[in-house]
Chains A and B, each alone.
Chain A
Amino acid sequence: GAGVSQSPSNKVTEKGKDVELRCDPISGHTALYWYRQSLGQGLEFLIYFQGNSAPDKSGLPSDRFSAERTGGSVSTLTIQRTQQEDSAVYLCASSSGLAGGVGGELFFGEGSRLTVL
């Protein structure tokens, strides 16, 4: 697609429920990143994919969080047994090069806003 697409754009769920957030990166981008942004806070790194593998998942806050990527394209971030502190905007980004370097600028989606009641 033309840009990074994320769904749902908004999700309200009850504490204890599981949620899945989807990211469709720019076609051909091999790197995919998930970040979390809480109100008034900066972007918190969660996980990085290169192709279908995740060399760096050190930012996942707990074992309730998991992510996968299939076909080198779409990624799903799953949060099990949601807690109120999980409420945030979850941002996905893709990149054609090494993050931060030349050609490695991140292209972000518009985010999925998660509210846990």
Chain B
Amino acid sequence: SQKIEQNSEALNIQEGKTATLTCNYTNYSPAYLQWYRQDPGRGPVFLLLIRENEKEKRKERLKVTFDTTLKQSLFHITASQPADSATYLCALRPYGNNRLAFGKGNQVVVIP
């Protein structure tokens, strides 16, 4: 069956450190992979998109990698700040399908 797996345990990290989240997928062949941020009681907000032929994508303090051999994406927040505390979701759309499938998300807590 198709799965998108993210760590269910919250990541507690000291302010200023780099937070790294993992997204693993099974039985998908996505052309693109996206990352979203969700705050409590709010809808998800798009952060970054990476294509299958891109190894790495950066946006400000965010970095995403995409390894189609390992079927894995890593999401990094460098120089983390308390305002980065949220749940981060990975999402992908397989070929021939118009729906975006989401992982359950991984919570990040940045400790001042």
Name the distance in Å between A107's Cβ and chain B's nearest Cβ: 7
Q: How far is the CA of A99 from the CA of B36 in the complex (A)?
A: 13
On whether the beta carbons of A101 and B32 are closer than 8 Å, the reply is yes
CB < 8 Å neighbour of B49 from A42, A105, A111:
A105
B93, CB-defined interface residue at 8 Å = yes
Residue A74 CB within 8 A of the other chain: no
* A4–B44 CA distance with the chains assembled, in angstroms: 12
The number of A-B residue pairs with CB atoms under 8 Å apart is: 71
Interface size class of B (residues with CB under 8 A): 20 to 34
Question: A45 and B31: CB pair below 8 A?
Answer: no
Closest residue of B by beta carbon distance from A35 = B102
Chain A residues bordering chain B, tally (CB within 8 A): 28
Q: Which residue of B lies closest to A102 (CB)?
A: B49
B44 touches A106 (CB 8 A): yes
Closest to A6 in B: B43
CA distance A48 to B97 in the complex (A): 11
What 0/1 pattern do residues 50 to 94 of A give for CB contact below 8 A with B?
Answer: 100001100100000000000000000000000000000001010
Check if A1 is an interface residue, CB within 8 A of chain B: no
Asked if residues A33 and B103 are in contact (CB atoms below 8 Å), the reply is no
Given contacts A99-B100, A102-B32, A105-B49, are A42 and B44 in contact (CB under 8 A)? no
A100 touches B34 (CB 8 A): yes
**B45, A100: Cβ atoms closer than 8 Å:** no
Does A43 sit within 8 A of B, measured CB to CB? yes
* Residues of the A chain whose Cβ atoms lie less than 8 Å from the Cβ of B104: 41-42
B7 to chain A, nearest CB (A): 13
Other A-B pairs, 12, CB within 8 Å; known A41-B104, A99-B99? A35-B102, A42-B4, A42-B104, A45-B100, A45-B101, A48-B99, A50-B98, A104-B93, A104-B100, A106-B46, A108-B44, A109-B43
Q: CB within 8 Å of B: which residues of A?
A: 4, 31, 33, 35, 41-43, 45, 48, 50, 55-56, 59, 91, 93, 98-102, 104-111
